[in-house]
Amino acid sequence: MGADVGGGAEKPQKGKKGLRRPKRRISIRLDMTPMVDIAFLLLIFYMVSTVFAEPQAMEINLPPSEEEAPAAESKILILRVAEDDQIYWNIGDQEPTPISLEALPKLLQDKVYEVPGLITLIKINKGARYERMVQILDRIEVVEYRMRQAQKQAIERGERAPTEEEFSYTFSLGPWTRLDTRLISEVTGSEETEDTEGS
């Protein structure tokens, strides 16, 4: 930072005689350019060195093989998320039944014990919110946690604990098709729209 010092004009004193010189006024001008440079350097330093919030990612375990494994319809529980975020469930050729997000964990837990080797297939309409899929997957994790806790407690009490096959929860994501739109339209009584392909 620099300063320019300049002398002011001398004004003669009126009505006084002598050898005393009038005081000289000094004007100062500060050069702010170096301070601006330092401010920008600090800003760049903090931008480069700051750790920003990492994007949240959802971990989904995929099967080891790309081969399709056949499964009976009676062992597939289908969760459909309609355009208005309403969830419907059915097994096999049953009619889809609406269910709330809060009641979903109990349904999943009951069905996974009732139907050994149950597979949950999640189908989401492209008009539904992405947040709804995340909420469903969170509920599946809650069910798995509860079942593992029940297995652990059964072992501690010396009782028969459910095997891995009996409580391991398997789920998959499937595309929304025209058949799904037709089934939901029949349940709700609404008209089927032309744009029915899902995510």
Among 17-21, 58-62, 88-92, the minimum mean pLDDT is found in 58-62
The tokens of 123 are what? Answer: 């189908």
* Chain CA centroid to CA 122, Å: 18
Q: Cα–Cα distances in Å, from 48 out to 34, 35, 37, 56? A: 21, 20, 17, 21
Least trusted range by pLDDT, from 46-60, 85-99, 157-171:
157-171
Query: Which domains does the chain carry?
Result: 73-188 (3.30.420.270)
Q: Which residue has the tokens 């072992």?
A: 155
User: At CA 68, angle to CA 65 and CA 69, rounded to 5?
Assistant: 95
**Higher local confidence (pLDDT), 60 or 189:** 189
Of the listed ranges 51-65, 116-130, 149-163, 180-194, the least confidently predicted one is: 51-65
> How many CA atoms lie within 13 Å of 145's alpha carbon, on the beta-carbon side?
7
pLDDT for res 195 = 47
Measured CA distances, 96 to 11, 29, 65, 86, 192 (Å): 100, 80, 31, 11, 16
Mean pLDDT of the chain: 77
Rounded Cα–Cα distance for residues 186 and 180 (Å): 10
Residue with tokens 């920003």: 52
Asked if 22 and 48 touch (Cβ cutoff 8 Å), the reply is no
Q: Residue 62: its pLDDT value, please? A: 55
β-strands 170-174, 119-124: how paired?
parallel
Burial (CB count within 10 angstroms: exposed 0-12, middle 13-18, buried 19+), residue 80? buried
140 and 169 Cβ atoms separated by less than 8 Å: yes
Q: Which two tokens stand for residue 152?
A: 């652990």
Where on the phi/psi map is residue 88: left (φ > 0), alpha (ψ -120 to 50), or beta? beta
